[in-house]
Structure 1
Amino acid sequence: MSILSGLGALGRGLFSDNKGPWGQAPGGSGDEPPEPPADGQGPWGEPPKRRGRGGKLPGGNVSSLDDWIARSKQRFGGGGTGFPAQPSGNFIKYGLLAVVALWLVFTTMHRIAPEERGVVTRFGRYSSTLGPGISFTLPAPIDRVQKIDVENIREINLGSASEETLMLTGDQNIIDIAYQVRWKISDPELFLFELAQPEETIRQVAESAMRQVVANVSLQGAMGNQRGIIEARVEEEMQQTLNAYRAGVILQGVAIRQADPPAAVNDAFKEVTAAQQEAESYVNQANAYALQLKQKAQGEAGAFDRIYEQYKLAPGVTKRRMYYETMERVLQKVDKTILEAPGVNSYLPLNDLKRTPAPVREPAQ
């Protein structure tokens, strides 16, 4: 717009007194307009132009140029500075009111989800804890609300395939343990303000508790049937320590995912384990055989006791029955010939009796 202003000033300077560019009238130095040439044409061969009232040319109307410049300023902004016109006072006032209203709405009204709690701090100091629902506080920066999820179960993994967690067992062996700790927030106030780094504290407490428990367990127990006992003891030790720290955390469980000897001696340990398993297998077989013999002896002793009770009641009958049973067991396995009728010749052709008769052949067809 400064260019347009300059053009307007130049136009007014050039055409305000109808003089030429050197301060003179188009036809000379006098105040009267010059007479047209005799041939009726201008100095450059064009026909003479008609003058309006006051001796001014129609094309040099100063008021028309000023009007055009004024309209241009109104269209593109005022002031001639090249910037849009300044907004009105009402627009600024309503804009500020809208900003203040939005600030109040977004900093005083808080929606807390069912699984969350809102911790309110006033000038940085703990003020209160908001439950689920819609709550209102003082606007920021007076009150600030930090939402904490108290239902989400968080996990911390200690030890992995790329990072060994070596511990000393009760029988002076080294074991590599990888385990997982599951926990959630029980008290948001304590969780935020009592510990500087809550998750790192939980990690260190878990490692300390695991080392303490593993130090009282043998290597075979840690790798085998005592894992459940170790997990329960570690969880108990951790919860006691975290409660003493006022951490605002409740444990959801400890799970051992891996319990192996160090990688450097893993192959040798597998060989030793295989030999121990083989020895244990032989021991189990021997125990089973001993149990079988014991049960058999107990059965025979019980049978003898029952026979003796019967013998005390009727000795003769019992002797005869035992004799018959014994003869039955002996004679049923041998070839025998029984002669019961009296007066029969006692000569027996034993060789012929023992000879096996030839098989009977069927006649040829």
Structure 2
Amino acid sequence: MSWDPRNQGGYQGSEKDIEEVIRQAKSQFESFKNKGKGLWTLVIILIIAGIGALTAAYTIQTGHRGVVLRFGKFAGVVSPGLHFKIPFGVDRVIDVHTEKVETEAFGFRSATPGVRAKFQKDPETAKESMILTGDLNVIDMEWIVQYRRQDPRKFLFSIHDPVQTIRDISETVARQIVGDRSFDYVLQNREEVNRIFQDDLQEILDGYDSGIRIVGVRLQNVVPPDAVKNAFNEVNEAQQEKERLINEAQETYNREIPKARGEAERLINSAQGYALERVNRAKGETSRFSDVLAEYRSAKEVTKKRLYLETYQEVIPKAKDVYVIDSKQKTILPMLDLDKMGSRSGGEQ
């Protein structure tokens, strides 16, 4: 390559040399590109393997169950613990809490949940709580339904919206139970209504194969609507007064009737004892008279004298004064004033 003094700064070479330089640079770039492509492939493979390893392992917490879907189809249910799945969306796991008790409220809503929860009613909840009873009265009834997800597969796939299904069935069962009974029965037999409510609700959900277990049903508030609450309270007070009077009368009855029965029993027993005594005495007298009669018939004079003396033995001790009269005395009149004469003469002395 020769130097051209007229070229004050440009490349001093032929056109062929420039093409060679370009070709060499391109060759070096292609070589580096091929080497980089292999490196990037390795990096991508490593990243994919790491992501697969991280997403293949999963843990199910205690009290939960995992429902495994493979390409969107049910593949099984796994218990709590560490498990592995096919990554990259082939397997998908839905975590279902099977031990947690959920609560659905009817006729009211929790405004501020917590220990001191506040509740509120709105037009929507008022429609839920207004129910017609069997005696054609309107009742404002609030209740709660507690449930848990017993079978996660059935809970997820047997019915479209399990929570809304529970709410719809609960309202239907509540209206059926209250509509077959009077207002007083629902008000006074809450535990019985709770039991019937829970049994009927569980039976319907089992028929749907829902996988839901009803833990409990509780009537929270059973009152008449606000429009008739004053009239209902007056009727209720009258019924309570009636019950009070009945209870007082029953108390008096329970106190006086046993007393009268005891007195009657006492009189009957006393009469029976007196009758038995008189009968026994009469029988004794009859027996004694029969014995005396037999003795009298065998020895009349002796018996007569004995009876005479026995009579004197009974009479004389009871006499205040005893007068002994001579059999030859014609009258007893002179002797009747002896006490007066004695007392008079004593006074004169």
**What is the TM-score with the length of structure 2 in the denominator?**
0.64
Counterpart position of 1:244: 207
* Distance in 2 (alpha carbons) for counterparts of 1:273 and 1:231: 23
**Deviation by residue 1:107-160 (Cα, 9 ceiling, x = unmatched):** 322211121111111111111111111122222321111111101000100112
Larger helix fraction of residues: 2
**Deviation by residue 1:320-342 (Cα, 9 ceiling, x = unmatched):** xxxxxxxxxxxxxxxxxxxx995
- Out of 67, 74, 80, the residue aligned to residue 132 of structure 1 is 80
CA deviation after TM superposition for structure 1 residue 316, in Å:
8.7
The alignment status of 1:217 with 2:181, answered yes or no, reads yes
1:136 to 1:316, Cα distance in 2 relative to 1, 3 A: same
Please tell me the root mean square deviation across aligned C-alpha atoms, in Å: 3.0
**Amino acid of the structure 2 residue aligned with 1:181:** V
* Distance in 2 (alpha carbons) for counterparts of 1:342 and 1:258: 92
The alignment status of 1:107 with 2:71, answered yes or no, reads no
Counterpart position of 1:27: none
Counterpart position of 1:173: 137
* Distance in 2 (alpha carbons) for counterparts of 1:206 and 1:307: 68
**Amino acid of the structure 2 residue aligned with 1:103:** I
- Out of 278, 294, 314, the residue aligned to residue 257 of structure 2 is 294
Identical columns (%)? 30
Counterpart position of 1:230: 193
* Distance in 2 (alpha carbons) for counterparts of 1:17 and 1:102: 60
CA deviation after TM superposition for structure 1 residue 305, in Å:
2.5
Alignment of 1:1-365 (within 5 A): 17-18=7-8, 88-89=36-37, 92-160=40-108, 161-162=121-122, 163-164=125-126, 165-224=129-188, 226-315=189-278
* Higher mean C-alpha displacement, 241-250 vs 95-104: 95-104
SS of residue in 2 equivalent to 1:314: helix
CA deviation after TM superposition for structure 1 residue 233, in Å:
0.3
SS of residue in 2 equivalent to 1:138: coil
1:265 to 1:16, Cα distance in 2 relative to 1, 3 A: farther
Give the number of aligned pairs: 245
* Distance in 1 (alpha carbons) for counterparts of 2:268 and 2:132: 58
**Deviation by residue 1:78-108 (Cα, 9 ceiling, x = unmatched):** xxxxxxx9x9446523431332123212332
SS of residue in 1 equivalent to 2:232: helix
CA deviation after TM superposition for structure 1 residue 264, in Å:
1.3
The runs of 5 or more residues in structure 1 that have no matched partner are 1-14, 19-59, 63-84, 319-339, 346-365
SS of residue in 2 equivalent to 1:303: helix
**Deviation by residue 1:172-208 (Cα, 9 ceiling, x = unmatched):** 1110110000000111111101111000001111111
The runs of 5 or more residues in structure 2 that have no matched partner are 12-32, 109-120, 282-317, 322-338, 340-349
CA deviation after TM superposition for structure 1 residue 170, in Å:
1.7
* Distance in 2 (alpha carbons) for counterparts of 1:151 and 1:186: 8
**What is the TM-score with the length of structure 1 in the denominator?**
0.61
**Amino acid of the structure 1 residue aligned with 2:69:** T
SS of residue in 1 equivalent to 2:103: strand
CA deviation after TM superposition for structure 1 residue 61, in Å:
12
